[in-house]
Structure 1
Amino acid sequence: MLTTLPTVVAGLLGAGLILMGANAFVRPRDAVGFGIPGAPVEDLGFQSWLRVKGLREIGPGAFLFVLMAVASSSVLGWYLLVFGLIPAGDALVVLRSGGPKATAYGVHAATSAVMLLTGVGLLV
């Protein structure tokens, strides 16, 4: 696959997902700042949920690298377009939970926008 700006951004997104997921898995108490207020940090069940969340971030991040290695840029682009819906949904959850708008828009919606724009860039 040709090295283009969208491909580089896709790689950065994949690396970011893997790093965030690994952090949530190894240190779930540090991963609580995803925007939902009143998250029970000391609750072991909640920490276990964050570990699951971490693994669910590592998988799609790793799959980005698989697609970069074996698929066409259009396949990678479609993956990012569909996968970009997840952080958009996260933004809605944070907003509906009364969480900080800065986190909803500045983290989740911004991530979604970067993923969607990268996906479009890979399709053109």
Structure 2
Amino acid sequence: MGPRDLAWWVAIVAAACMSAAIIVIGARFLLAPESGAEGFGLPSEAGPFLTAKGIRDIGTGLVGAVLLTTRRFRAAGWALIALAWIPLGDAVVVLAWDGSEILAYAMHGGTAAAMIVVGTILVRGRARDRSPSTARETSVDAEG
């Protein structure tokens, strides 16, 4: 196993951990919204929006979990890249509402960066999946 294959397997594990973590975070917003708000970087006066965030987070985690368990790794990678907008938006919200700058940049910004890196590795696939014959077969399948 080469370094690229190792990176791919690490990305699979990281994507699974990200999916599980955001489901847990979503459940926290449903079960203990005030605590979830503080961990998010905002005051807890947001009321029903905290519940909406919990539901959004659980749904987001389920998307990743379903794609990974059905072995749709490239689709999971694209989903991670696309869903990285969520933590970027969260960072903007925290900063706009005078929330914690550390949480905005480190947690939300860091999460978005990690999602993009892991997603890119999954989209690229394993080294053995990118052999010239596989690439040719994939392009023929896409055309026909």
TM-score range relative to shorter protein: 0.7 to 0.9
1:21-61 superposed Cα distances (whole Å, 9 cap, x missing partner)? 0011011121111123x542xxxxx3332122111100110
| Aligned with residue 14 of structure 2, among 5, 9, 18 | 9
Describe how 1:47-86 pairs up with structure 2 within 5 A.
Answer: 47-86=47-86
1:81 positional shift: 0.3
Size of the alignment, in residue pairs? 116
Indicate the RMSD between aligned Cα atoms, in angstroms. Answer: 1.5
Q: Secondary structure at the match of 1:99?
A: coil
1:19 equivalenced with 2:1 (yes/no): no
C-alpha distance in 1, partners of 2:72/2:23?
Answer: 22
TM-score (norm 1): 0.85
Within-5 A mapping of 1:95-110? 95-110=95-110
Q: 1:69, 1:94 → 2: CA distance?
A: 33
With structure 2 as the length reference, what TM-score do the two structures score? 0.74
Query: What SS does the corresponding residue of 2:41 show, helix, strand or coil?
Result: coil
Q: Distance in 2 between matches of 1:89 and 1:78?
A: 18
Query: Where do 5+ consecutive residues of structure 2 fail to align?
Result: 1-7, 125-144
Task: Identify unmatched segments of 5+ residues in structure 1.
Answer: 41-45
Counterpart residue number, 1:123: 123
After TM superposition, give the deviation of residue 109 of structure 1 in Å: 0.2
Deviations 1:46-89 (A, max 9, x none): 33321221111001101211001225321111000000111011
Q: Distance in 2 between matches of 1:104 and 1:78?
A: 24
Task: Tell me, yes or no, if the aligned pair for 2:29 and 2:51 is still in contact at 8 Å.
Answer: yes
